[in-house]
Amino acid sequence: MRERCGPDFQVGVRISPERFGLRLGEVREVAAELLLSDAVDYLDLSLWDVAKQPEEEGFQDRPLMDWFTDLDRGTTRLGVAGKVRSGQQVTEALDRGADFVMVGRASILHHDFPERVRADGSFATRTPVSPAHLADEGLSPVFVEYMRNWRGFVTEAS
C-alpha cells in the first residue's frame, strides 16, 4: 500500500476485539504485531464502548481498552472508538493511554464536536434529537430516516 500511495499516505487497520468469534488473547497478539511492524501508521480499536469490561472470562479484571493501551507501540499510534459522546470521555480515554479518540454518533449529532470539546471540556451530546436538528447538521432526509433505527437517537416528531 505504501509503495503504491507514497510515504505521506496514512495506513491504518481497524480491529473489533470482541466480534466475529475472535478470542481476546489472539486479537491482542495481532495488535501487538501490528503496532511494532511499521506496516501501519495507526491501529483503530472499535470497542463499542471505551469504558466496557471484556466479555471473555479471564480478561475481566480491567477494561477492554486497557488490554491494548499497555502494548509497546513503537511509532504506531493507537486510537479508540466506542460511545464517546462527551469531552470528559475523550479526556478519560486519552488519560488511559489512547493516542487519539474517534467519534461517530457524537459527530453525527454535532458536526463540530471536536471544536465544541476543545472550547468546553465538559461539552456532552444529548439524545434524542429532532429530525430538524439532524437536517441542520447536514444529514440527508434518507439518512435521518435511517437514524430512526437507532433507538433513542431521533425523536418521533417529524
pTM: 0.90
Q: What is the pLDDT of residues 96-152, one digit of tens each?
A: 999 999 999 999 999 999 999 999 999 999 999 999 999 999 999 999 999 999 999
Query: Is 28 within a domain?
Result: yes
Query: Is 138 within a domain?
Result: no
> For the chain, what is the domain count?
1
Query: Is 115 within a domain?
Result: no
Residue 72: which domain range? Answer: 2-105
Query: Is 131 within a domain?
Result: no
Q: How many helices (H) and strands (E) does the chain have?
A: 8, 4
pLDDT of residue 157 exceeding 80: no
Query: What is the CATH number for 34?
Result: 3.20.20.390
Query: Is 74 within a domain?
Result: yes
Query: Is 155 within a domain?
Result: no
User: For the residues 43-68, what does the mean pLDDT come to?
Assistant: 95
Query: Is 20 within a domain?
Result: yes
How far apart CA 44 and CA 80 sit, in angstroms, is 6
